[in-house]
Amino acid sequence: MPTISVIVTAYNQAPVLELTLRSVQAQTFKDFEILLINDGSTDATREVADRFHDPRLQVFSFPNGGYSRALNRGLDRASGAFIAFVDGDDLWTPDKLERQLQALERHPEAGAAYSWTRFIDRAGTLLFSQHPVHFEGDVARDLLLNDFICSGSNVLVRRSCAKEVGGFDPAHSNGADWVWLMNLATRTRFVRVPAHQILYRQTRTSLSSQVDRFEMSARRNLDLVLATAPLELQQLKPRCISNIDLHRAFLLLRETPSPDEVNRAMRIVEGAIHRTPSLFLRASTHTLLLRCALIRLLPGDHGDRIAHALIRSVSSTLQALHRLSPQR
């Protein structure tokens, strides 16, 4: 029996799937199985997988059933004591499994380990890095307010804890990983690995880029989680909605936005601040407002380029100050 089961879900990801599989294969920790769930792909996903020679790899092809069903099919076939998930277009650094497993071995009371994320584009170019967070232990409140896990390709989970949570809800594929992680966070403790180990690929055609769909699914998933959450978490709903709105604005401004997208982002940020005035004190809110203002004021893509440069500079300064400050 392998120590870790790595569940790879893929739907029409042939152009990048080999890179994902190689990033799994290159792990410094070697005792794992790879369960590739081909979710009804109509491109060359299956052919790419068949060319990938590794005795640890098993390929299972099904009619398209959606992200949640693909994850559940992987869970049903997993035999490892620990489970890791990775989407078929994301990447890991080579030490991801090793360091997360070490963290769980050092903290037997914890059921899940997470790392930090870097965001890349379709070509693999770095877009930006997640600001380091240090949430550990009971993280349900922190995860509700701020999806610091960032993607379904992050956590390493004890199989016993995953079985306690159960499967992913097929009726709610968009954001199903966050709902599942919230359920996990109410049952077990989390431990962090203080390193950027996840490379999360962003594209204009990805679900997270469709702002309206994101809002609809995010609000639905929030209601789903809060329906069974303790009262102290239910009372955070207005703040959660404001955070969803800030992320909507971020998605609109993520690449080179049109004037209409900039105006829409500004209205969204203003509405979030009106609902939750404390957001005006956050650096991330200032960044969104600054970028909107620069893009509006400067012609062509000059404002966008300057905003990017300023944001990178501010982000680097904040990260340097964060490293100098006491850790949680």
Q: How many CA atoms lie within 13 A of 109 on its CB side?
A: 4
Q: Which helix (H) or strand (E) holds 102?
A: helix 96-106
Predicted local confidence at residue 255, as pLDDT: 67
Q: Distance between the two ends of the chain, CA-based, in angstroms?
A: 37
pTM of the model: 0.85
Q: For position 53, what pLDDT does the model report?
A: 87
In the chain, the domains with their CATH numbers are 4-201 (3.90.550.10), 236-324 (no CATH)
C-beta of residue 87 within 8 angstroms of C-beta of residue 9 = yes
* Distance of alpha carbon 60 from the chain centroid: 24
pLDDT score, position 305: 56
Q: Is 92 strand, coil or helix?
A: strand
Q: Along the chain (328 residues), what's the average pLDDT of each consecutive run of 10 residues?
A: 97 95 97 98 94 93 95 97 97 98 98 96 89 95 94 97 94 87 96 98 60 86 92 93 90 78 90 90 82 74 54 52 46
Q: Give the number of C-alpha atoms closer than 13 A to the C-alpha of residue 79, restricted to the C-beta side.
A: 9
136 forms bridges with which residues in the sheet? none
Distance CA 112, CA 161 (A): 8
Residue listed under structure tokens 């004190």: 281
234: amino acid identity, one letter: Q
Q: Indicate the SS3 state at residue 5.
A: strand
Other CB atoms within 10 Å distance of the CB of residue 96: 28
Res 259: pLDDT: 82
Question: How is residue 234 written in tokens?
Answer: 């239910």
Query: Angle, to 10 degrees, between the axis of helix 237-253 and the axis of helix 259-275?
Result: 160
Which residue shows structure tokens 């329906």?
Answer: 227
The token pair that represents 220 in the structure block: 């639905």
Can you give the C-alpha Rg of the chain in angstroms? 20
pLDDT of 122 reads 86
